[in-house]
Amino acid sequence: IPEIDRARIFEAFARLDDSRTRASGGYGLGLSIVSRIAYWFGGTIQVDQSPTLGGARFTMTWPAQRYVKKSKRKMLEKKPEEASDHLA
């Protein structure tokens, strides 16, 4: 993907080569949808040239927290009013 077109590929209905995309189908929405999902989760999506494979490499990043599972024993030891964290 030429560098000049990289920002445009994330726009809805964007097509860089009408003859190729018309033959393979699609409406130019996929990367636009992925870009919006990344935004909703506070993340980003980037595209650059893949140095080893050729073509394009897409990287999506977003902030995340590690999930720590609570043990059932600790949950059972709680008082009834503390038993459910999400029903406040």
User: How does residue 75 score in pLDDT terms, banded at 50, 70 and 90?
Assistant: low
pLDDT digits (tens, 9 = 90+) for 38-73: 999 899 999 888 777 778 888 999 888 777 776 666
Mean pLDDT of the chain: 76
Q: Is the pTM of this model over 0.85?
A: no
Please check whether residue 49 is in contact with residue 57, taking contact to mean a CB–CB distance below 8 angstroms.
yes
**Measured between alpha carbons, how far is residue 70 from residues 50, 63, 65 in Å?**
41, 22, 15
Average pLDDT over residues 4-30: 73
Report all structural domains of the chain as residue ranges with CATH numbers, in order of start.
3-64 (3.30.565.10)
